[in-house]
Structure 1
Amino acid sequence: MAHYFVGDIQGCFAELQKLLLKVDFNPSKDTLWAVGDLVARGPDSLATLRFFQSLGDTGKVVLGNHDMHLLALHGKLKRNKPSDNLTPLLNAPDIESLISWLRLQPLMRELPEHNVIMTHAGVPPQWSLETLRQESQLVSQALQQADYLDALISKMYSDTAERWEPNAIGINRLRFCINALTRMRYLFVDGHLDFDCKQPPENCTNPQLRPWFDFASPLRESHTLVFGHWAALMGKVNSPKLKALDTGCCWGEYLTLWHLESDQKITQKRLKKS
């Protein structure tokens, strides 16, 4: 049995298929983990969601910011932009089933026997494993409520929840978790989230900003952290316990698969448009 972790697919389903062929992925014995952002920008978000839904327990997905945004689009809370290539998905006959499946996906997953944690953007350095579990579970519970659109999705877009406040309640607590686990790249030196800079660390000109993974963290010592979201990194990080898997396939670069057991990365260049 093998564990494969794939970076941000963003609708690049043909590239995903080629990657899985390269490693002879067998869903009857292997597990495919996805760091989120299954949809948007690439040409086939619909096939991507259908594929992961069909995998059942063989597919382990966490939600990314684009997946959360899809929930807002489906709920008519945001405008559908043509550049996201989501119209075929939103108009699909099985869209309700796909959305119901997506709402069941968490913001974090663990592989305890290997001390691996997967989120979309990373883990706040202030958080312990217990806090990560607790906060992500609160968001999952809110997503699975009948009023999730009004109570969560309509209110999650905010740059104000940039500080971890252990005593926060309600939507402010949920907002910070969503911001941190699906949008985080840099933190200010005092530990609060920055939402503007997307450059790789070597190009960041603000001396007050540091990558989230450069802060001391108990989880960095004990676990391998698998994440995507930050395409500008192109997989280049400063520790073997960090696996940055977003390598910009939807931007014309490549899709990356990490094979846990061999600690090898396999890549597939973005295919040319036919």
Structure 2
Amino acid sequence: MAHYAIGDIQGCFFELQQLLDKINFDPAADLLWFTGDLVNRGPHSLETLRFIKALGDRAVTVLGNHDLHLLAVAHGQDYKHRQDLADVLEADDRDALLDWLRHRPLFHCDQRFCLIHAGLPPQWDIDTARRCAREAESVLQSDRLGEFLKHMYGDQPDRWSEDLQGWERLRFIVNCFTRLRYCDREGRLALRFSGPPGSQPQGLLPWFQVPGRRSEGQEIIFGHWSTLGFVAERGCYGIDTGCLWGGQLTALRLDGEMYRISIDCPCYRKPG
């Protein structure tokens, strides 16, 4: 059995198929982990969702910000990029796909690796991350989903405290798992800046470089950060290599000796 993690797809279905051909994916035996953002902006979100859903227990995907955006649009909460999601929203199997999507985790671990979409704040150890993910997942999978989606968007609060409650607590948790790139040394999130390391405002660090990060020592796979590109640093592996933007789609083999396999992708979108 081969085990691969694959970076953000964002509706680039045919590129995913090319990558799976290149790694000789066997759906009867192999396991795929996806870093989230299965949909939006790319041309084939519907095909991507249907394919990964059909893989059943041969695929694990965590939720990304664009996946949550699809749920928000479907519940009438936000209309940005709606045209990119029309194929899903108008599909005959729309309800089954959306129900499957909202039951995906925010955080997944096996005996060696943890899988997230974006990042972890430095105050969280792995047990805290797991507990916080379960808090948010329980709401996303409940009849409170629509109510949560009304309160999901926003950049505050920007620092973790166990005293956080209600929608503010859930918003912070979801922002970490699905939007985080940079924070300061005290763990305050800086969610609006998405450029590559070296271009950020003074005082900000990539989340995985913050000194004293309590998740240090755990191997973590993440996506979300296309301007970062592939990175393997301090036990953290960033594998969003910008397929949507004309970069690459990357698979990282996780069983045995780790190695990267990528394919070149056409440019479906340009920044801005």
Amino acid at match of 1:180: C
Deviations 1:106-125 (A, max 9, x none): 1000011xx20010002222
- The equivalent residue for 2:123 is 126
Q: Taking structure 2 as the reference length, what is the TM-score of the superposition?
A: 0.94
TM-score norm. by structure 1 comes to: 0.93
Q: Helix, strand or coil: the match of 1:258? A: strand
Contact preservation (8 Å) 2:229, 2:240:
yes
Specify the SS of the correspondent of 1:267: strand
State the 1:220 CA deviation.
Answer: 2.1
Query: For 2:157, what is the secondary structure of its paired residue?
Result: coil
Q: Match for residue 227 of structure 1?
A: 222
Higher helix share: 1
Q: Distance in 1 between matches of 2:122 and 2:187?
A: 8
Task: For 1:239-254, list aligned pairs within 5 A.
Answer: 239=234, 241-254=235-248
Q: Which amino acid aligns with 1:190?
A: E
Contact 1:80–1:87, Cα closer than 8 Å, also in 2: no
- Counterpart residue type for residue 96 of structure 2: S
Corresponding letter in the other structure for 2:157: A
Secondary structure of 1:72 counterpart: helix
Which residue is 2:70 aligned to? 70
Residues 133-162 of structure 1 show CA distances to partners (whole Å, capped at 9, x for unaligned) of 110001110011113111x11101011121
CA RMSD of aligned residues (A): 1.4
SS in 2 for 1:127: coil
Choose which of 233, 249, 252 in structure 2 pairs with 1:255: 249
The SS at the match of 2:114 is strand
* Contact 1:19/1:267, CA 8 A, preserved across alignment: yes
Provide Cα deviations, 1:4-46, integer angstroms capped at 9, x if missing partner: 1000000001011011111111111111100000001111000
> Which residue of 2 is the match for residue 190 of structure 1?
186
Deviations 1:218-246 (A, max 9, x none): 3221x21100001111113533x211010
Shift, 1:264, TM fit: 0.8
Task: Give yes or no for contact 2:245–2:267 (8 Å, CA) kept in 1.
Answer: no
Quote how far apart the aligned CAs of 1:210 are.
0.8
- SS of 1:220's equivalent in the other structure is coil
Partner of 1:238: 233
Unaligned runs of 5+ in 2: none
Three-state SS of the structure 2 residue aligned to 1:226 is strand
When the two structures are aligned, how many residues end up with a matched partner?
266
Q: Does 1:176 align with 2:175?
A: no
Contact 2:27 2:58 in 1 (8 A): yes
Moved more, 167-176 or 40-49: 167-176
Query: Is contact 2:40–2:81 with CA below 8 Å preserved after alignment?
Result: no
- Give the percent of matched residue pairs that are identical in Structure 1 and Structure 2: 40
Q: Could you tell me which runs of 5 or more consecutive residues in structure 1 were left unpaired when the two chains were aligned.
A: none
Aligned equivalents of 2:194 and 2:86: distance in 1? 27
Is the aligned partner of 1:13 residue 2:13?
yes
CA distance 1:248–1:272, change in 2 (3 Å): closer
Matches within 5 A, 1:1-274: 1-81=1-81, 85-112=84-111, 115-150=112-147, 152-204=148-200, 206-215=201-210, 216-221=212-217, 223-239=218-234, 241-261=235-255, 262-271=257-266
SS in 2 for 1:217: coil
Q: Separation in 2 of the partners of 1:41 and 1:158?
A: 21
